[in-house]
Amino acid sequence: MASVYDFTVKGRDGGDVSLGEYSGKVLLIVNTATGCGFTPQYEPLETMYKELRDKGFEILDFPCNQFAHQAPGTEEEIHQFCTLKFGTEFPQFAKIEVNGENADPLFAYLAAEKPFDSFGKGVKSAVLKKVTSMNNKSFGDKAYIKWNFTKFLIDRSGNVIARFEPTADMKEVRRAVEELLNS
């Protein structure tokens, strides 16, 4: 694959969606969950989306239930939760797996382009490191994503520019998005 825009994913309705539809835009691709300690990140994500979408920015939301079963429910139930609780308007796709033999090829590609480095420092990072090492044992070398709300920043040409773990400060994520939009 030459870029993210070469991938096709499943829409919330189960139909195929070519990421080529987003060609020329800056993307933030995120695996999410509705019952995670990081779920409140939907709020700054939606704020960023509303304020920057007119500049060519899109957030692509991929619910994933592989981390402590924190995204239960159907695509419609997840969508209703996100729109009612956080007012999300950015595109949300079908629930996927991001690790293991059934990992979505998009996320395997993203993780190969920007592999996991660390969760950073602090209490949350230390706790998350311990939890993820237990959770991801079953995925072996296919534990591409360590937890919910891992974010990948994509430039207008479809190149993976940065990876932000769920512990990354959302202000840092926004700064990186704005820099890319303005470059």
Q: Evaluate whether 163 touches 149 at the Cβ level (below 8 Å).
A: no
Contacts 24+ apart (CB under 8 A), 49-52: 49/88, 49/89, 49/90, 50/89, 52/177, 52/178, 52/181
Element (H, E) at 29: strand 26-32
Given 36, 78, 98, 143, which residue is catalytic? 36
Q: Evaluate whether 72 touches 65 at the Cβ level (below 8 Å).
A: yes
The reply to whether 36 belongs to the active site is yes
At 56, which amino acid appears? G
What gap in Å lies between CA 32 and CA 38, rounded to an integer? Answer: 9
What gap in Å lies between CA 173 and CA 102, rounded to an integer? Answer: 28
Q: Evaluate whether 178 touches 52 at the Cβ level (below 8 Å).
A: yes
Starting at the earlier edge strand, list the strands of the sheet with 26-32.
57-63, 26-32, 151-154, 160-164
Give catalytic residues, as residue numbers.
36
